Amino acid sequence: MRLNGEISYRNEEEEKEMCSFLPPPLPKQKLVVGYALTSKKVKSFLQPKLEGLARKKGILFVAIDHTRPLSEQGPFDIVLHKLTGIEWQQILEDYWRKHPEVTVLDPPDAIQHLHNRQSMLEGVADLNLSDCYGKVGVPRQLVITKDPLSIPDAVTKAGLTLPLVAKPLVVDGSAKSHELSLAYDQFSLSKLNPPLVLQEFVNHGGVLFKVYIVGEMIKVMRRFSLPDVNKHEILNNAGVFRVPRVSCAAASADDVDLDPVIAELPPRPLLERLGRDLRRRLGLRLFNIDMIREHGMRDRYYVIDINYFPGYGKMPGYEHIFTDFLLSLVQSKYKRRLSNS
């Protein structure tokens, strides 16, 4: 069965609101978006098609010069950023205090929660979505900060079941922070390098759902993931095996013949509620959720990672989605000013 793997979710109220916001309020006025991005992110996100569409809609992307004070640049309507480091965070927070009229995507202190895999998933664990056509949780996990030799005993005391996925605790944007390993036996656990998070591996049919959030918009895509692990493999494998990033383990699964039970996208009400609750809890508008369905359990889902400002360039139609989102931010602010005047 061939299934289309990309679906956008937006409820009727959001559609009406977006329609009332667009097109831009002031055709002759440019919406200036200052961006502070890594060279890699600039290449993947600021593609010619995006910049061309943005110009037609009155949006101008301007690079922020890191060698000059931020207050001397602009003026900006929006600051779009994905840089790490305490120094940049301080610069941006100081700028925002002096220029509260500027929209910052997203607040640095909110982003910090996604730089640690322990705090990253806390908001998901606290959600109650039992009335939304499914249950969403996080795999059981254990944080190890030091002493590799203590890991086997810690895993036993925590009651975790092998195999375990080992992930670096800190997510700092580097390639190393996304290196994953799969540990099959107790003895090999002491070979891991803390600080890390050990997460129970959940069989999920080898398919992962990437749930992209852009403000109110939700777009879902399938990706191939790690294959299921059976009891025979657990008994006959030993050691720690390096694996690729789960979300990048293979090409898109959008146009591949898959078992419908595995390929079926999560229900719309579930994703709408999950996206809305996480936006509120995280205080973020640009992120994606890596989500799996437990194999054999149609309504049981797990969030295994949350990423700030993900690779939107891989999402079909992202140019229209992102430019509409930027315009809606300004329109919302303008609408609030009118209601308060």
Residues at the binding site for Mg(2+) are 290, 305, 307
> Quick check: 219 and 7 in contact, CB under 8 A?
yes
The token pair at 24 is 């831009």
Cα gap 333→324, rounded to integer Å: 14
Residues 230, 236, 239, CA angle at the centre, nearest 5°?
Answer: 105
> Is the separation of the CB atoms in 117 and 197 below 8 Å?
yes
Cα distances (Å, whole numbers) of residue 286 to 80, 230, 248, 289? 10, 36, 19, 10
- Token pair of 77, please? 């309507």
Distance CA 18, CA 20 (A): 5
> How is 52-108 classified by DSSP, letter by letter?
HHHHHTTEEEEE--TTS-GGGS---SEEEEE--SHHHHHHHHHHHHH-TTSEEES-H
Q: What residue numbers does the annotated binding site for 1D-myo-inositol 1,3,4-trisphosphate cover?
A: 41, 82, 178, 210, 307, 311
- 218 membership: H or E segment, kind and range: strand 217-224
**Residues of each annotated binding site for ATP:** 117, 167, 199-210, 225
Annotated binding site: 41, 82, 117, 167, 178, 199-210, 225, 290, 305, 307, 311
Helix (H) or strand (E) holding 223: strand 217-224
Distance of CA 54 to the CA centre of its chain: 23
Closest-CA residue to 271 (of 209, 326, 322): 209
